[in-house]
Structure 1
Amino acid sequence: MNCVHALGDFQYNSSCSFHCEEGFILNGANTVLCNALGEWTVPVPTCAAVACEILQRPSYGRMNCVHALGDFQYNSSCSFHCEEDFILNGANTVLCNALGEWTFPTPTCAALLCEVLQRPSYGRMNCVHALGDIQYNSSCSFHCEEGFILQGSEKVLCQASGEWSDPTPTCAGN
């Protein structure tokens, strides 16, 4: 607040101008004037913290926020962690800045991808992808054509490490 007093402190014709600190916005008029009735011409303004977009917890993840001035307002910070078997894509902590923007985009949690398997010669392969791509908990079953014997595991599972539980089996002739 910065005031100018023509006839004495906060008397007729005194005017005060208001500015907010960084990270806050002014609600109301930026200047008020004391009139002949000893009243301010408009209500004294207030300063409110800048608000950022409300964040959502990422799928397969957790979000923990600290709000110093109010939910998702200036200086709020949120940290992110993924469930077991998922990796964080993006920053693990974001901060609501003075412009009302998050310092980084909301991260996502993604399962590690396993390499694409090839159908064995003289065999069939049937894969089930629980989460979409060939990622954690995807499984592939193998069968050989008549006259061939499966050598290796009948079923392989994509593990959290991004590796298959067993090598791709082969089909060998009798």
Structure 2
Amino acid sequence: MSPARPSVPAALRLLPLLLLLLPCPPTVRGDCGLPPEVPNALPALGGNTSFPEQTTITYTCNEGFVKIPGKPDSVICLSNNQWSEVAEFCNRSCDVPTRLLFASLKKDYSMQNYFPVGSTVEYECRPGYRRDPSQPVKLTCLENLTWSKPAEFCKKKQCPNPGELQNGHINITIDILYGSPIYFSCDTGYKLVGATSSYCSLLDNTVKWSKPLPECIEIHCPEPPKIDNGYIQEEHEVYVYRQSITYGCNKGFTLVGKSSIYCAIKDNEGEWSDPPPQCKGKSSDSKPPPTPQKPTTVSVPATQRTPVPKATTSFHATSTSKGKEMSPSGAVSLIYGFVAAAIIIGILILVKFFWDYGKSGSYNTHENKKALNVMFHNLSEADDTSEVRSSDKLQKGTHV
């Protein structure tokens, strides 16, 4: 028979039950302290020092570090007043991959922001470019957290040959690859109708010229101006650059100005090089030639005698020796001239006579008188003869 166990007082048996009924201190039940430290990250505490059960604290990576995709970045306060475990989730990374003009990241990498050392990304050619199989299309994150230098693995597509511009020129500045411009111009005498330039641009996933070729149209001058009392030699329906016209005048008119003008170009329009000439007649200011008048008959009496010295006959012969017929007014003037000359010569003879007479006194008085009478007699006969001749010529002139 087994020995009897000592009896336990009833108060001791109720002790555990009493302990359970006692209230726990509020500062201990479900209270977590500060969250654990995580390398290269900081918790968002919000200024709190104690955290109740089920409180969640999230961490953020320090500057220069990036969260590793798929790893948790927060902790939870558990019922045992302990924080849940968290592993290191921040690491260094390259920045966003280099943006390239000729290529773009593939979609698999476009939403990614964590690129640790050694990671690679791939590109694809943009529209307007073609793949160059001889060049790699990948970039790598290097130890210094920079991307490797990209090769030109996408080349520009080339537009088709633009062709030729009739009566004009196509100016290709660089090439005819995607994005390149070309310019159009016309020869002198032609006007550009259409676009002045075109670009090799993207169209329906290929490259084509943005504008069609223009046209170079020949420039015409306006119809040449007409002129009064004149005409244009060899007229045409149209007149083009450098083509000339020549003016002429009707009979009896004289051309004043340039006889020929040509078609010139100004501001892509045709115009004539000079104003047209003028055809002018004889000046209205010039006086007409004098109208010949009918000769007037002058009667000179043949019996009229005027003493004229012999010397006047030679003067008369000289004046009429040219064979020209003398007008009546000229004959009258000539007679007056003879008379005046005779009077002057007579006065000179008398002065000479009296001078000689005063020197010699009465010596040879009879001989002097005789010589004087002979001289006057001869002078009178000569005067009668020349006077009759002048009268005859005057009458002949007036009756012609």
Larger radius of gyration: 2
Q: Is 2:168 the partner of 1:64?
A: no
Q: 1:155 to 1:102 in 2, by over 3 A?
A: same
Q: CA deviation at 1:140?
A: 1.0
Q: Is 2:255 the partner of 1:150?
A: yes
- In the other structure, the counterpart of 1:169 is 277
Residue segments in structure 2 that go unaligned for 5+ positions in a row: 1-105, 107-123, 132-154, 283-400
Q: CA deviation at 1:155?
A: 0.1
**2:214 alignment partner, one of 86, 102, 107:** 107
User: The residue matched to 1:158 in structure 2 has which SS?
Assistant: strand
Q: Following the alignment from structure 1 to structure 2, what is the Cα–Cα distance between the partners of residues 118 and 96?
A: 47
| 8 Å CA contact retained: 2:168, 2:184 | no
Q: Following the alignment from structure 1 to structure 2, what is the Cα–Cα distance between the partners of residues 171 and 150?
A: 5
Q: 1:82 to 1:140 in 2, by over 3 A?
A: same
Q: CA deviation at 1:103?
A: 1.8
Q: 1:76 to 1:48 in 2, by over 3 A?
A: closer
**2:181 alignment partner, one of 77, 99, 102:** 77
- In the other structure, the counterpart of 1:159 is 264
Q: 1:57 to 1:63 in 2, by over 3 A?
A: farther
Cα deviation, 1:49-99, whole Å, max 9, x if unaligned, reads 3643532144143522432xxxx4543421223455655433332112222
User: 82-91 or 72-81, which moves further after superposition?
Assistant: 82-91
Q: CA deviation at 1:148?
A: 2.4
| 8 Å CA contact retained: 1:25, 1:50 | no
Q: Following the alignment from structure 1 to structure 2, what is the Cα–Cα distance between the partners of residues 159 and 49?
A: 44
Q: Is 2:162 the partner of 1:54?
A: yes
Structure with more of its chain in helix, by fraction: 2
Q: Is 2:224 the partner of 1:120?
A: no
Counterpart amino acid of 1:63?
N
Q: CA deviation at 1:115?
A: 2.5
Q: 1:85 to 1:59 in 2, by over 3 A?
A: closer
Under a length normalisation based on structure 1, what TM-score does the superposition of the two structures give? Answer: 0.54
**2:128 alignment partner, one of 23, 29, 34:** 23
Deviation >6 Å, runs of 4+: none
Counterpart amino acid of 1:104?
K
Under a length normalisation based on structure 2, what TM-score does the superposition of the two structures give? Answer: 0.27
**1:98 alignment partner, one of 202, 206, 217:** 202
User: The residue matched to 1:156 in structure 2 has which SS?
Assistant: strand
Q: Following the alignment from structure 1 to structure 2, what is the Cα–Cα distance between the partners of residues 23 and 113?
A: 43
User: The residue matched to 1:81 in structure 2 has which SS?
Assistant: strand
| 8 Å CA contact retained: 2:167, 2:190 | no
Structure with more of its chain in strand, by fraction: 1
Q: Following the alignment from structure 2 to structure 1, what is the Cα–Cα distance between the partners of residues 183 and 223?
A: 33
> Across the two proteins, how many residue pairs are aligned to each other?
135
User: The residue matched to 2:201 in structure 1 has which SS?
Assistant: coil
Q: 1:49 to 1:156 in 2, by over 3 A?
A: same
Which gives a bigger RCO, structure 1 or 2 (Cα 8 Å, sep 6+)?
A: 1
Q: Following the alignment from structure 1 to structure 2, what is the Cα–Cα distance between the partners of residues 20 and 156?
A: 62
Q: CA deviation at 1:124?
A: 2.4
Q: CA deviation at 1:125?
A: 1.1
Q: Following the alignment from structure 1 to structure 2, what is the Cα–Cα distance between the partners of residues 139 and 106?
A: 32
Q: CA deviation at 1:128?
A: 8.0
CA RMSD in angstroms, aligned pairs only:
4.0
Q: 1:53 to 1:64 in 2, by over 3 A?
A: closer
Percent identity of paired positions between Structure 1 and Structure 2: 27
Q: 1:64 to 1:128 in 2, by over 3 A?
A: farther
Q: Following the alignment from structure 2 to structure 1, what is the Cα–Cα distance between the partners of residues 197 and 243?
A: 30
